[in-house]
Structure 1
Amino acid sequence: MNEIGHFIDGARVGGSGRTADVFNPATGQIAARLALGGASDLERAVEAARAAQPAWAATNPQRRARVFMTFVALLNENMQALAELLSCEHGKTVEDSKGDIIRGLEVCEFVCGIPHLMKGEFNEGAGPGIDMYSIRQPVGIGAGITPFNFPAMIPMWMFAPAIACGNAFILKPSERDPSVPMRLAELMIEAGLPKGILQVVNGDKEMVDAILAHPEIGAVSFVGSTPIAAHVYAEAARHGKRAQCFGGAKNHMIVMPDADLDQAADALIGAGYGSAGERCMAVSVAVPVGEATANALMDKLIPKVESLKIGPYTDAGADYGPVVTKAAQEKILGLIDRGIEEGADLAVDGRAFRMQGYEDGFYVGACLFDRVTPEMEIYRQEIFGPVLSVVRARDYEEALSLPMRHEYGNGVAIFTRDGDAARDFASRINIGMVGVNVPIPTPLAYHSFGGWKRSSFGDLNQHGPDSIKFWTRTKTITARWPSGIKSGAEFSMPVMR
């Protein structure tokens, strides 16, 4: 049995006390046993971070960038092995796992520009004989709490900018698929990162609470469900930490009557069922405008959903694999049953799906609902499974109002040939990330990622320019040298005239 502990001060260390099983979702079998750490394990990581961080912050930024240049090369060299390791614990296909890794790698490429990204500002002669300038300095020790659905990408979205800015970073990954985050930490050391700058502490709520309460951790980044995101944000603020916390989503895709329906249907299939729907940017609600559009779209969707191939990650031809746990499988099936009870039309029913030879795996067949209404639980909740709901809208304004009124505001898309409609939609919608004929509008690394409403808590988003602001503090210096100083005390408020 593979035993997974923690990664502290540059090496794997064992755990003690409580443990949890890590499953292979494709087979339903236990793949590893994970140590569930607590405050004492965190303290060891903080001690190592405290010792290492000052020297790392004093390292000039181009040398910090070189570590990430080497790390990117190591990621590419180890891509296949990392993807297979990720798939074994998550269940997504190997190609999907490579995408997970590459989207994290892109943020590492972005922070190779940290010498430019951390530039401050300077004003010569801001006042008589006075210069004024601002600099960015690291927070000190940061922490990240990451979800199961992107065990490579989201940790790199957090630790890459944090470390490039000169911070030490403590990562608490999901206990469902911890092996890739551990391996990433090892590769960072191989790339030349000093010991103690990136550490991995495994655990559950006890570890999260220890992170939030620790006085030497100055900033926390979190991705998970909305109730926990709200809790982490409030607790971080109560303990005097800055925090960025990202929660749930219910992403809509509006399909206008003039849209290319073949393109729209393909987009819905990929965005709705890829990774078994376990993406915070997955499209889970299709909103065709007008009955004719809805009927035509359903005619295209039904055979595509029925023909989806489900299989283990070892099957190169599979469109998607199992969901991550037995509990997730049961929750998804329960919500599908609830949708039928509430009167939605289950046009494609995948509940009876069984994977031959993998009967104990956590598989859910693709499901497609039609005539879903906003009052239904399957519309209100984030299902996080291979389930697409079609909500028919009479006109554009009704379609626009659906995502506008929903409590989540992560991503949204519109498919249309009408530039005026697309521009109006992008301007009016109260959602953080908008796609125009793009179903999953996840920004690239040099823009910032984040939703609105109850999908996000905090003022600054992930990666891009916001990440540099989040992981640093601005210091402004006003300097005047003796030749410019007048004699005598000044008692009024200083002004620059």
Structure 2
Amino acid sequence: MQELTHYINGVHVKGTSGRFADVYNPATGEVQARLPLATPEEVNEAVAKAAIAQVEWAKVNPQRRARVMMKFGALINEHMEELAELVSREHGKTIPDAKGDVQRGLEVVEVCMGAPAMLKGEFMDSAGPGIDLTSMRQALGVVAGITPFNFPAMIPLWKMAPAIVCGNAMILKPSERAPSTALRLAELFSEAGLPDGVLQVVNGDKEAVDSLLDNDTIQAVGFVGSTPIAQYIYGRAATNGKRAQCFGGAKNHMIIMPDADIDKAADALIGAGFGAAGERCMAISVAVPVGKDTADKLVAKLLPKIEALKVGPYTSGDDVDYGPVITAASKERIVGLIDSGVAQGATLLADGRGFSLQGYENGYYVGPTLFDDVTPDMDIYKEEIFGPVLTQVRADNYEEALKLVMDNQYGNGTAIYTADGDTARDFASRVNVGMVGINFPIPVPLSYFSFGGWKKSAFGDLNQYGPDAFKFYTKTKTVTSRWYSGIKDGAALNFQALD
């Protein structure tokens, strides 16, 4: 069995804690590796070494830091197949989906190649008599990224690329469930010319996370995961004087208006609801058709598409639409929520419980599930299921549908399908959700914009990647300078305007 490591100062380092986590193959249920869980002492040592490396890295000019990003991006492209295999082996998603995971992370790396333009400050000469004003963006120092299992490549890249190109050193703590991709990315970063110690990968559980949150050298923390943990990390980081951007759970709705193209809406729901086994924070888990006729037509379109979905291991190639969920506990929780939907009166139209695949009976598979007649008081509506379960909540009119989205505690993503521009514009303007799709089911912004939700889906003022990332990973320094040529001498005791 493979024993994984930490990645410290450019080399793989065995853990010393004696504590390990099992890394499973979700397709088979078999343990495929052991992962060392770091002690506070190991975390603090990695941070101390990163702090030494960061001083010199921050002195490297932005153009040369961007060249490292260029080489890193080229290496990611070169190793796309290998990285996708690592993602699929530990997460379970199909190879095409895993390549998408890597690609969306790579796009952020590509934006970071333009870091010199993003890191420019401002200047004004003659702001007052003989006075010039200059602002500059400088690195924070050592920062931390804590990333989830569902995007083992994309989200680590969202964290590490902007942080590092801004001149920081990063401590990355990937998910214990899918750590190998992050370790391989760290190797590729070193190969691209990143100095040793600027990126440290430290594996661990809550003990390692708390050590990062309490370490005085860490200046900022980025996190993606569930809302309760996001709130915990945000609160503890803020208490310790750190910047934090923490992204949590979601319950993404898609409204289908009577004038929508039902075929296109149904196709969108299949992809957005069941892709990656529903383990996406931007998955559509609630369909809200407006009017009985729309709801009935939508169900009629969805059911045959759901019945045609193929579930299986990623090794089956193009014959599989989605794979297993991440752990046995996840499967048990999803099945329990399906049970609760039945018990609480929802109409179960497609039942994924009891799904079994010959030769993979111990894998963590859940078949595609569809509920109709769901109401907001049901657990399957209130909970983020994070599995291949689509629920339909019927609405009598547009305002009722909009209110469902507005009243939900989460505000990550939402979508509307309609042929009417006025309705689309009204929805985009009024809805209190961070990312909105118009006839587009998963509205993840392109990498030169920024990704972020509202309400209990996000904690912190700045979003991930794009312009917000450069703001988050730098601090602004403003210099006021005066040259005394032609200016009268004399002390001024009052607080004067510069003009």
- For normalisation by structure 1, the TM-score amounts to 0.99
Larger mean CA deviation between 479-488 and 309-318 belongs to 479-488
1:360 maps to which of 347, 358, 362: 362
8 Å contact kept, 2:44–2:211: no
Aligned amino acid, residue 401 of structure 1: K
Matches of 1:494 and 1:75, distance apart in 2: 55
* Partner secondary structure for residue 143 of structure 1: strand
8 Å contact kept, 1:145–1:223: yes
Deviation at residue 305 of structure 1 after TM alignment: 0.7
Partner residue in 2 for 1:139: 140
Partner residue in 2 for 1:251: 252
Partner residue in 1 for 2:2: 2
Deviation at residue 7 of structure 1 after TM alignment: 0.4
Pairing 1:87–2:77 present: no
Aligned amino acid, residue 61 of structure 2: N
Partner residue in 2 for 1:273: 274
Q: Which whole-Å deviations, capped at 9, do the CAs of 1:104-156 have from their partners, x for residues lacking one?
A: 00000000000000000111111011010100000000000000000100000
Deviation at residue 482 of structure 1 after TM alignment: 2.4
Aligned amino acid, residue 302 of structure 1: L
Deviation at residue 409 of structure 1 after TM alignment: 0.2
Pairing 1:15–2:8 present: no
Aligned amino acid, residue 423 of structure 1: R
Q: Which whole-Å deviations, capped at 9, do the CAs of 1:148-176 have from their partners, x for residues lacking one?
A: 00010000001100000000000000000
Q: Which whole-Å deviations, capped at 9, do the CAs of 1:379-411 have from their partners, x for residues lacking one?
A: 010000000000000000000000100000000
Matches within 5 A, 1:244-323: 244-316=245-317, 317-323=319-325
Gaps of 5+ in 2: none
* Partner secondary structure for residue 218 of structure 1: strand
Aligned amino acid, residue 186 of structure 1: E
Q: Which whole-Å deviations, capped at 9, do the CAs of 1:302-352 have from their partners, x for residues lacking one?
A: 111111000101011200000000000000000000000000000111112
Partner residue in 2 for 1:130: 131
Call closer, same or farther: CA 1:406–1:133 in 2, change over 3 Å: same
Pairing 1:201–2:214 present: no
- For normalisation by structure 2, the TM-score amounts to 0.99
Aligned amino acid, residue 53 of structure 2: A
Q: Which whole-Å deviations, capped at 9, do the CAs of 1:419-467 have from their partners, x for residues lacking one?
A: 0000000000000000000000000100000000000000000001000
8 Å contact kept, 1:344–1:372: yes
8 Å contact kept, 1:144–1:171: yes
Matches of 2:50 and 2:204, distance apart in 1: 18
* Partner secondary structure for residue 293 of structure 1: helix
Call closer, same or farther: CA 1:296–1:484 in 2, change over 3 Å: farther
8 Å contact kept, 1:8–1:44: no
Pairing 1:170–2:189 present: no
Matches of 1:161 and 1:266, distance apart in 2: 35
* Partner secondary structure for residue 350 of structure 1: coil
8 Å contact kept, 1:62–1:114: yes
Matches of 1:63 and 1:269, distance apart in 2: 44
| Stretches (4+) displaced over 2 A | none
Deviation at residue 496 of structure 1 after TM alignment: 2.3
Deviation at residue 484 of structure 1 after TM alignment: 4.9
Deviation at residue 494 of structure 1 after TM alignment: 2.3
Gaps of 5+ in 1: none
Matches of 2:272 and 2:379, distance apart in 1: 21
8 Å contact kept, 2:284–2:442: yes
Aligned amino acid, residue 8 of structure 2: I
Deviation at residue 476 of structure 1 after TM alignment: 0.5
Deviation at residue 485 of structure 1 after TM alignment: 4.1
Matches of 1:237 and 1:349, distance apart in 2: 44
Matches of 1:463 and 1:85, distance apart in 2: 24
Q: Which whole-Å deviations, capped at 9, do the CAs of 1:172-198 have from their partners, x for residues lacking one?
A: 000001000000000000000000001
Partner residue in 2 for 1:227: 228
* Partner secondary structure for residue 399 of structure 1: helix
Larger mean CA deviation between 45-54 and 85-94 belongs to 45-54
Deviation at residue 44 of structure 1 after TM alignment: 1.9
Partner residue in 2 for 1:324: 326
